[in-house]
Amino acid sequence: MRSGKPGLIFLGGISMNIKAAVFDLDHTLFDRYATIRAIKNTVFDNLKGYVKDGLTADGFAEILIALDKKYIIYEWDEVIKQLKICGALKEIPEDFYNLAIRPGFIKTAVPYPFTIPALRKIKEMSIKCGLITNGTSDIQRSKVKMLGLEELMDEIVVGGEVGKNKPDPEPFKVFAEKIGFEPKNMLYIGDNPFNDVEGSRNAGYIPVWVKTYGTWDDSVKKADFEVNNVGEIPALISKLI
């Protein structure tokens, strides 16, 4: 429904002045699966002695990606546990993420092809763009820089920098304070039912679920809007204003 006023959307019969589109990073703007394939040799080499005999770097990467698609909504600890259960790992290293994943992620980041064009279109609509991501400052800031997102983001909040990660309301609260908008005037776009949809809703944002890998948990109330990928966000905003 068009209101004739840029930035106004109608949700449940109530018009809201949407001032910002705020994004998650991994699986939303950042193609983690393409990146895992790009760093597969680093991952494999760092896990020597732990990986099942006979597995190749390619084979381990595809198992990791398949398990990530199924279990990542429950965080890395669950994915790592499943690597052991399925037999891909003979045993789990004490600090799997920092041993196997972090060295690659700090140097390599592959964007979705639609990420930059979508963000540019949103900014052309006079809508601010922002980022709220979980993780440590060094890795997430490195990803943002490698992906070329810095110049397109009006504000960025990293969970590790505020001492709380999504779905805790603190990162969402800090972002709203930094950008100067009420949460009710911002879309939050992400892939994780718990961290992104439920977390942003509880913080007062309007949640948009990105169906990157399509795994949902029925204990979570559905998002107000759903898209297949971030490339559809400009069209969604256009339909709603």
Q: Mind listing the pLDDT tens digit for each residue in 103-125?
A: 999 999 999 999 999 999 999 99
Look up residue 106 and give its amino acid. Answer: I
- pTM: predicted TM-score of the whole model, two decimal places: 0.88
Distances (CA, A) of 130 to 29, 154, 204: 11, 6, 16
Pairing of strands 8-11, 14-17: antiparallel
Sites in the chain below the pLDDT cut of 70: 1-16
The alpha carbon of 162 is separated from its chain's Cα centroid by a whole number of angstroms, namely 17
pLDDT at 240: 73
pLDDT at 4: 36
pLDDT at 238: 84
pLDDT at 16: 57
Buried b (16+ CB within 10 A) or exposed e, 153-186: bebbbbbbebebbbbbbebbbbbbeebebebebb
pLDDT at 33: 93
pLDDT at 102: 93
In angstroms, the CA 161 to CA 67 distance is 28
pLDDT at 237: 87
Beta strands in 155-199 (DSSP E): 155-158, 186-190
pLDDT at 1: 31
